[in-house]
Chains A and B, each alone.
Chain A
Amino acid sequence: MTENKTDKKIKIVLVEDDKFISLAYKDGLTRAGFNVIHAADGIEGIEKIMAEKPDLVLLDIIMPGKNGFEVMEEIKKHPETKEIPVIFLSNLSQDADIKKGKKMGAVDYWVKSNLSLAEMVEKINNFFK
């Protein structure tokens, strides 16, 4: 968990509208050594991703303004952002949603309610190994 402290921190944009969930993720991930930038809805998400060019985007789906799928479309549209890996992080756990998300170019699709913080940190670290 601490290995990233010495390196340049991994920059993550977390697009999540729920206040408490975003708080929890932000705290948890920051403590795990990531640089977490939070966006509270889809539109803000697009702005932050454009501005920050993060190493990873964690993207919720059901959000006011623009939903996750629309944000994803936007990211993939722009050449400067389309290479950024995106992981959907949602409580929609239907097969159809998961397939749709992956089809749009997400590197993964995680169901929030099935994932503990520790597991999430491990998965992100594994992804950057």
Chain B
Amino acid sequence: MPVKKEKIRKKSLPAEKQDKLPGKEAVNVFTIEAFRKEFLVIVIFIFFLILFSVPVIKHLNLAVREEYKVYALVALAVAYFAASNFLRAKQLVRKNFLYAVDVVFFTTVFLTLIIMTGGYESPFRFSLFFLFAIFKPFHGSFKQVVAVMSVVFAIQFLLGYFYFQELSYHLISPIVDGLILMTTALVVKLAIAMYETKAHEYRDMGKELEILYKEAAEYNTRLENVVAERTSELNQTLSSTKDEKNKAEKQRVATLNILEDMADSQRALEQSKTSLEARQLELEAIAEMSGKLSGATEENKAIEIINNYFQKFFNFYSFLIILRDVESKGGFVVKSFINRPVGMSFLSIAKKELADYMLDNGGITKDEIQNIINTKIDFLGKSPSETEDSPDCPGFILSLKTGEKIFGAIYIASADKNIYQVSGKKEIIDAIISTASVALYSLQEIFKSQQSKTETLVKSLSNGIILLNKSMEAVLVNPRATELAGVDKLGNNLDNFLDALGGDRIKRVIDLAFSEKKAETIKEAVVKNKTLEISITPVSDNEGNITGVALIIHDVTEAKVVEQMKSEFVSVASHQLRTPLTAIRLFIEMLMRGDVGELAPAQKEYMNNVYESTDRMVRLVNDLLNVTRIESNRMQVTTEPTQLEELIENVIKEEEPLALMKNCRINFKKPVKKTPLILVDRNLFRQVVQNLIVNAVKYSDPKEGIVKATLALEGGENYLLCVEDNGIGIPEKFKDKIFQKFSRADNAVKANTEGTGLGLYVSHEIVQSFHGKIWFESNKDKGTKFFVLMPATGMKDKTGERGLVIS
């Protein structure tokens, strides 16, 4: 069989195609190319069929007669197909032989059929052709199909002509069959051709990949061979060097022995060197400590440094230091730095021993001993242990002295009893102690001189000053403070004193100063007919830790009286000023109206000038009065539930005549949703809105002014009012000053001579008073936008003397 296969393939494949696929057997491929050739043949065939049929086509008369017997024949045909295809697939029989059998079989079947059905056109014949048309193309070329069909048709035609004597019908039906068959065959063939073409491409790709893979495998094998070769070479070389290595090893051992002897002698040398180095390290450490100590500005810090360096050299539990207290005469401070837990009773004993030492050597009196014993120990490191008591660690006492003067002593508790007797250690301890002495003494001296300076300064201050430490004890109180509080001496009456100053409120502020480093001022604390202003400020050390709180008490009683007098004066003065101004205005009005005779045009113009100046004066008086109110912080705030957009709308309505005069249009864009009522002092807020609207109208484009006011809820927390004009804008250099008193930009003065320079200042102060915000954005010659942010919570009521003057 394989031989046969080869033979068939070779016949159907061009020679060059076989060369292209080396290593693989050639495959019979039915491609689009092959299809095109066959297509030409079938088209020619169909052409002739049609040509031949034209004269008889009109005789076509299709009728169907059922002949069920024919089923058997059809079944036989199908069975035959199955068998024939099986044989082909298994390649058991030669192909050409099968075609011959096909021809014979189909001819027989047809003849039988035609005879059985009386030569009539029938669906059975049609289906037979159909089957044939579908199966045939799978294994035959069109030439073959055409050949087979031609024979079938010829027989049918001849039969029809001679047997049935009915030429027209038996001529046309083969033609129709042929057309249907050929068209179907063409479609099926095309589908196969397309499929085969694609499959062929993939097959080619697969083959190329296989070739590549093969090459890679070959290369790999070559590489493995080379590696194996090199490895065996290396192995040879290695075995030859092994002998030499053994020799060298022996030599090395000999050398090592010699070296070891040398090392012994060197070790001796090194030991002495190490001890020298240790000595040097110690000296360096002491020098370093001395440097650090000179940088320490506090006793506690210095003691901590001393402790740290002690720890570097010795194993000790704690030490206790006694120094004269620079802050109080005859007093002492006892400070302890604990590294390992020691008990309280041990510390008491140590303190007593230190006191005795000071009596013998430090030149203190017996009375002062009691002071030492009464002094509480200030613990800098760990706190003393409650449970553990007196470990077996007797200490020794050394004096802290400058020159020959002993100013304190130190008790060092150490587990190593005789450490001070060991030569080498003793020198280090002495060095540390003498360095520490110098540092502590100079710290005390500095403190003393500073304190006396500060004391003098603080005593002479006209403000009362109280300094509290963390445990709420008064560390510093100047005479003015006790005087203001109305006590002889503060003593233990701090609580009473604070109560007098403002009770819980002041204590809360002090707590706040401690906990949040927040400074605050209590403006009006009334203590015994005096009005005090108390500033409470946290005091912190160099590292920012809070060490205390300072209370600065300022007597504002007189200032307040003066302030009140001033306010009343301004109030009365402005009222007095307004009276004549009102009279002037009224008379001018009547004059201008011609009540007492018509005025000449020039007179009228002059009168108009006088009228406007008077008007401005009235507004100036009003604004001044408001400024005084605001500045003295005694402005009354009376809130009412208010709808902001309504208030703004009213203001705009009132300013409409002014806008008309200035050729200006005012648009107001309200929030989409009606805003809820919020508590607002209408007069105050109105003043702000009015100032902004009037300014915008005044300074908008004189030809076609447009003022846009917008109110919106910002993030649910604030109302934002924006008033925009299209005017001259605010010059850059003036932007910082716009909210200042009596400030008017150059271009504003030119454009409008009526402003007082107080409107925006007043607005700013009002907005500030309700914790809102006011700001602006301005582009020169394009316009200005003013913004006012009002908290959605509204304003809070405030009692005061007077409300605002409304113009």
Contacts and interface: CB of A to CB of B under 8 A. Distances in A.
A21 B802 contact: no
B559 to A, nearest CB: 24
Contacts of B585: 113, 116
A28 B588 CA distance: 11
B806 A93 contact: yes
Interface string A86-129: 00000111111000000000000001111011100000000000
Contact of A113 (B578, B636, B683): B578
B636 A95 contact: yes
Contact of B575 (A24, A28, A92): A92
B583 A21 contact: yes
Interface string B675-692: 000000001000000000
A113 B589 contact: no
B802 A24 contact: no
Contact of A94 (B595, B803, B807): B803
B590 interface: yes
Given A27-B595, A96-B636, A117 B802 contact: no
B580 interface: yes
Contacts of A31: 590, 595
Contacts of B586: 21, 24-25, 28, 116-117
B801 to A, nearest CB: 8
B804 interface: yes
A18 interface: yes
A114 B621 CA distance: 12
Given A95-B638, A113-B581, A20 B804 contact: no
Contacts of B581: 113
Nearest to B800: A96
Contacts of A37: none
A62 interface: yes
Interface string A27-51: 1100100000000000000000000
B377 to A, nearest CB: 65
Contacts of B804: 95
Contacts of B587: 20, 24
Contacts of A24: 583, 586-587, 590
B622 A93 contact: yes
Contact of B579 (A18, A93, A118): A18
Contacts of A23: 583
Nearest to B583: A20
Nearest to B611: A116
Given A95-B636, A96-B803, A113-B618, A27 B582 contact: no
B77 interface: no
Interface residues of A, number: 23
Contacts, number: 69
B635 to A, nearest CB: 11
B527 interface: no
Given A31-B595, A117-B590, A95 B582 contact: no
Contacts of A28: 586, 589-590, 595
A30 to B, nearest CB: 10
Given A28-B595, A95-B638, A95-B683, A112 B589 contact: no
Contacts of B575: 62, 91-92
Contacts of A92: 575
A92 to B, nearest CB: 6
Contacts of B806: 93, 95, 111
A33 to B, nearest CB: 13
Contacts of A111: 806
A27 B593 CA distance: 13
Nearest to B586: A24
A94 B801 CA distance: 10
Interface in B328-358: none
Contact of A21 (B582, B621, B805): B582
Given A21-B583, A112-B578, A93 B590 contact: no
A111 to B, nearest CB: 8
Contacts of B589: 28, 116-118
Given A24-B590, A31-B595, A96-B803, A91 B582 contact: yes
B303 to A, nearest CB: 65
A96 B582 contact: no
A51 to B, nearest CB: 27
Given A31-B595, A91-B575, A95-B638, A112 B582 contact: yes
Nearest to A25: B586
Interface in A46-99: 62, 91-96
Q: Which of A92, A93, A113 has the most CB of B within 10 A?
A: A113
Interface of A: 18, 20-21, 23-25, 27-28, 31, 62, 91-96, 111-114, 116-118
A-B pairs with lowest CB-CB distance, top 6:
A95-B803, A24-B586, A20-B583, A91-B578, A112-B582, A113-B618
Interface of B: 575, 578-583, 585-587, 589-590, 593, 595, 618, 621-622, 636, 638, 683, 802-807
19 contacts: A18-B579, A21-B583, A23-B583, A24-B586, A24-B587, A27-B590, A31-B595, A91-B578, A92-B575, A94-B802, A95-B638, A95-B804, A112-B578, A113-B581, A113-B621, A114-B618, A116-B586, A117-B589, A118-B593
Given A18-B579, A112-B578, 9 more contacts: A18-B580, A24-B590, A31-B590, A91-B578, A93-B806, A95-B803, A113-B582, A117-B590, A117-B593
